[in-house]
Structure formats: C-alpha cells, structure tokens
Amino acid sequence: MFRVSLANAFAHRTLRPLLEKHQATPVAGTVSFVTDQATTPIYSGMVAKLHTDGTFRIAANGDIAYGLFALDANPTINDLDGQPADLAPFAIWQGGPDAYFRIDSPAFNTGGSIAVGAFLYPDAAGKLAISGQNSATNAESPAAQIVEVVSATRLVIRVLLPTAADVA
C-alpha cells in the first residue's frame, strides 16, 4: 500500500492549455535561481526571460519576455523537488497562432481593471500585469494578450510569440 500526503491533493497548475491541440511551443531549458530569486516561488504562467548565460530566470519590469513558465516551483507544487538548487531542468511555453491558455492567480496581477484585448507584461515579481499596474511600459514586447476575463482570478490569454529580435 502506498501512503501519500493529501495536503496538496487538489493542487493544480495555474497555466493550462485551453485547446487540446495547439501550436504553442514548449521550450526545454534550465532555470537558474540566483541569490535574489532563491526564495521567489514560480507559478506556471509567470513570465520567464532568457539570461545571457542561457538559463531561464523570472522576468521583471522592462525585461524582454521569452515565454511563460510551464512548470512550478512553489509551496503547493514543486517540480524541482530533488533537483539541484542552483540549476534545474525546466520548460517554457512560447506562443503560436492558437496558443490560448487559461491562467489563474497568483500567476497574474489581479489588481486594477483587466479588459479584453489588453496586453500583459511582466511586473516586478514576474507575474503578468497590464501596463499601469507596476508593469513594464515597453509596448514592444508584451508576453500575452487577454482574450477573455472569466473571473477576477481567472483569465484566458493568448501567449505571444517572441520575434527573432526579442530572442537575440
């Protein structure tokens, strides 16, 4: 008989593909926890940036969004359990023509008014936020766009594909 903890039995990822078949691109890589991000939880759907050393890190204001985290490293779900603390395998979702996802808080900033069609950028903590909510004002590289507002804590978004200039 297996004994498992039921403490997180109802835990779910905060980012899920909306369509069974879609053209969103999963990108494999490694996540690097630097000293200022060692205790920052990662929820699927938070914004990732590609660092110059080739690792993924949590994006912040003004960073160019590379994609959205597909995995979790937080108190509820920890995909890094048993992995090296400084460098671990991870996955990032990038956009595509039909890259629609359902996203739940706390992966996005729930403050302020959220409207359909608004572009989302990384805020100071790496969460998706619309401009004016302590987010980047760089209109050249939004990470996602709101397609539907389901509730105050759930959105349907379209992940935007980075351009070659953004990735370079």
pLDDT at 139: 46
Q: Cβ–Cβ contacts within 10 Å for residue 9, how many?
A: 7
pLDDT at 39: 64
pLDDT at 104 over 90: yes
pLDDT in tens, 60-86: 877 788 889 998 888 888 887 777 666
pLDDT level of residue 135 (50, 70, 90 thresholds) = very low
pLDDT at 101: 94
Q: Which region, left, alpha or beta, applies to residue 149 given φ > 0 means left and ψ of -120 to 50 means alpha?
A: beta
| Range 15-167 classified under CATH 2.40.300 | yes
Domain boundaries, the chain: 15-167
pLDDT at 46: 93
